[in-house]
Amino acid sequence: MPKFFVKSEQIKDNKIIIMGEDVNHIKNVLRLNVDDDIQVCNLDTQINYTCGITKINNEVIECNIFNQIESNAEPNIHINVFQGIPKADKMELIIQKSVELGVNEITPVEMKRCVVKTDENVKKKKIDRWQKISEVAAKQCGRDTIPKINNITNVKNICNLVKEYDILLLAYENEQVNSLKNELAIIKKQTNKKLKIGIIIGPEGGIDNEEVKLLKENGAKSVTLGKRILRTETVAFVLTSLIMYELGDLGGT
């Protein structure tokens, strides 16, 4: 069943009003009609509803609420992926798959070895596009929230955020000793609360030694992911999957 997001002000008297780009998607892409059913999630409350379409025009889609759905789509940990900005459309793939795997935020990071240097005039356009990709992915995989694409930042700013996280993991190809498994085992024993975890991933050229030193000095934990060096667009998937398995909602023990 197709899923769409609304805000609380769009729900009133057992009716939901859908506006904006979703109107065109429902009407002209999915070609749904009156009496067809859809699923709608309130972004403010994360409550889901099954609804029947009662009215379609060029401006709005009106729906009647049939019932409320119990949903358990969100993980019990909060993950922010700090991703060194890669070339071409790799960022779009990283966002799409990270959203599917359950991350809550993705923060693009300008690093010394980033090939792509983003002009100030186009940064907002990139964020807007990436946010739309996050929304589409969230609808597709049945999320109850749309993960936020934060503004582009840098390593120095990440260092100022360390205290906001239970752990900040730095995927570093030159780390020889400390493993992700070791760090997850430690934090798993420390608390039963909802964890907030940051993942730092370099661009295609990796993370510069000075950036690694700065991050580690400010509390980030450098971890190895094994004997093979992964592409930047692979690291987020691997880290998120392993974290979810051990600490989240994918069946780890």
pLDDT tens string 35-44: 999 999 999 9
Q: Tell me, what's the pLDDT at 41?
A: 95
pLDDT beyond 90 at 30: yes
CA count, 13 A, side-chain hemisphere, 241: 7
Residue bearing tokens 């599917």: 100
Residue 53 vs residue 190, higher pLDDT:
53
Torsion, Cα of 157, 102, 164, 194 (10° steps)? 180
What are the E-state strand segments in 43-163? Answer: 47-56, 60-69, 78-84, 105-110, 148-149, 153-154
pLDDT beyond 90 at 187: no
Residue bearing tokens 């690093």: 111
pLDDT beyond 80 at 190: no
Q: Tell me, what's the pLDDT at 191?
A: 62
Q: How many CB atoms lie within 10 A of CB 48?
A: 19
What average pLDDT does the segment 207-234 reach? 92
Q: Tell me, what's the pLDDT at 137?
A: 96
Distances (CA, A) of 162 to 32, 81, 83, 170: 47, 13, 15, 12
pLDDT beyond 90 at 24: yes
Q: Tell me, what's the pLDDT at 250?
A: 56
Distance of CA 80 to the CA centre of its chain: 7
Alpha-carbon span 248 to 195, nearest angstrom: 9
**CATH 3.40.50.970 at 3-69, yes or no:** no
What average pLDDT does the segment 61-89 reach? 91
Alpha-carbon span 232 to 86, nearest angstrom: 7
Distances (CA, A) of 203 to 36, 104, 117: 45, 20, 12
Run of H or E residues at 209: helix 209-217
- One-letter-per-residue 3-state SS of 11-71: EECCEEEEECHHHHHHHHHCCCCCCCEEEEEECCCCEEEEEEEEEECCCEEEEEEEEEECC
User: Do 63 and 27 meet the contact criterion of CB atoms below 8 Å apart?
Assistant: no
Q: Tell me, what's the pLDDT at 203?
A: 93
Confidence at 251, pLDDT banded by 50, 70, 90: very low
What average pLDDT does the segment 196-220 reach? 93
pLDDT beyond 50 at 201: yes
Least confident of 5-19, 125-139, 216-230: 216-230
Q: Tell me, what's the pLDDT at 115?
A: 82
Q: Tell me, what's the pLDDT at 227?
A: 83
Q: Tell me, what's the pLDDT at 253?
A: 41
Alpha-carbon span 71 to 179, nearest angstrom: 34
| Domain regions of the chain by residue span | 3-69, 78-247
What average pLDDT does the segment 142-151 reach? 95
Total-model pTM: 0.89
Q: Tell me, what's the pLDDT at 192?
A: 65
Q: Tell me, what's the pLDDT at 105?
A: 97
Q: What is the CATH number of domain 78-247?
A: 3.40.1280.10
pLDDT beyond 70 at 125: yes
Run of H or E residues at 200: strand 196-201
What average pLDDT does the segment 162-185 reach? 90
